[in-house]
Structure 1
């Protein structure tokens, strides 16, 4: 579904990523792992098109932004680390705006959103404005907006920040359900114990490059650390790389 091939990029005159390559298949949840500053957010910005690579190729369902930007973007649902809502729009108007941006039938999209609103206990908040929401509620709105479009690729950036324990469980269940339905999911996080429990494979980023990737069992085997946790492996790799 998603493929990055030798992507080097970043900001103007500030390279962050160096020859990053990995893929995410349909029905797979891949953890993009790294500490703050490793390049996770830059990788996501390259995928969603906020940044363009200096070199390399990013494709989604075989399409690139250059070839067909509209259809490329329609395949992506994105839950950012920091909620970003329009202060002048109600919750219902946010849902309608997202539906129109994805060229969806608004009524059908709102019907799909109803179940998600109930999961996060927002069904009676449709007339509320962002000023009325807590940070956690704003994050829930972003989750609903991303999932209601039924994306082929779901990108989740530090998904559990600001959520209460019940909402964390709800989101975890939704992500696993999306994966079971064939959605490709890329989850960026530095909360390694959560990632270890949820993800099928891991891409470990450090200082803008891929140190290694694979399942937990493959990482354990490759580095001779049978039974080691993802945290143990990550710390071992990054400490060795820093020497």
Structure 2
């Protein structure tokens, strides 16, 4: 299994004098889904912003497929697709025009756009909304737009921040099925989420972040062994690690 995303010894934040994350190291391999979990304020969003290239680390290196944002920002950006927690869209563009814009920005030919977009519209039950504008959508529909735009370009790496908030059960199932398909085709997926029951079902490994540091990392079985919580759920393991972190 080849490493796709490498985060090595990264410290940083919004202000140089006040680091939010400290010496964070982890990887995301090809063909795996990794969950990044932690309390509000644990440093998950700051970590993601560093990976996206929106923040520059004070220390450490982040690379995707061996490339860093500092050495080749354009190539680096095309190596991932990002699904934000809060939908970001253009009010003057229809759903279909958003997909066209995404395809154009990634150099996809129109035939590829048509080949990929139609199954996505059908899967996420958005065919009837194709020519409508996002301000007419519910929050869940706007989130589906973000998801379809990311899935359309089929990058090596997906970075997903709380993807299922606002989605109905059918949309959640569609998203998870599609992500598993992407994984089988070789993609790596980093997913930040508070929904631990879903993470436990679909993710291969887990990163537990607390107070800006990775406190535990591994598969569910590895976390069970390291904590001594045999046969316990991810939720139980997570709570113990966070409580231990508060006492240290």
TM-score (norm 2): 0.95
Partner Cα separation in structure 2 for residue 221 and residue 152 of structure 1: 31
Contact 1:95–1:110 at 8 Å: present in 2 too? no
Where do residues 137-148 of structure 1 align in structure 2 (5 Å cutoff)?
Answer: 137-148=141-152
Aligned residues between the structures: 243
Counterpart selection for 2:116 from 109, 112, 115: 112
Shift of 1:57: 0.2
Match for residue 167 of structure 2? 163
Counterpart selection for 1:9 from 1, 8, 12: 12
Shift of 1:126: 2.1
Partner Cα separation in structure 1 for residue 105 and residue 49 of structure 2: 19
Where do residues 212-223 of structure 1 align in structure 2 (5 Å cutoff)?
Answer: 212-223=216-227
Where do residues 1-243 of structure 1 align in structure 2 (5 Å cutoff)?
Answer: 1-13=4-16, 14-243=18-247
Cα offsets for 1:79-121 (capped at 9, x unmatched)? 1111111101111111111112222224422321111011111
Partner Cα separation in structure 2 for residue 106 and residue 48 of structure 1: 27
Cα offsets for 1:120-154 (capped at 9, x unmatched)? 11123221111111111000011100000001001
Partner Cα separation in structure 1 for residue 13 and residue 208 of structure 2: 18
Structure 1 residue runs of 5 or longer lacking an equivalent are none
RMSD of Structure 2 on Structure 1 (CA) = 1.1
Structure 2 residue runs of 5 or longer lacking an equivalent are none
Contact 1:39–1:207 at 8 Å: present in 2 too? yes
Off by >3 Å, runs of 4+ in structure 1:
none
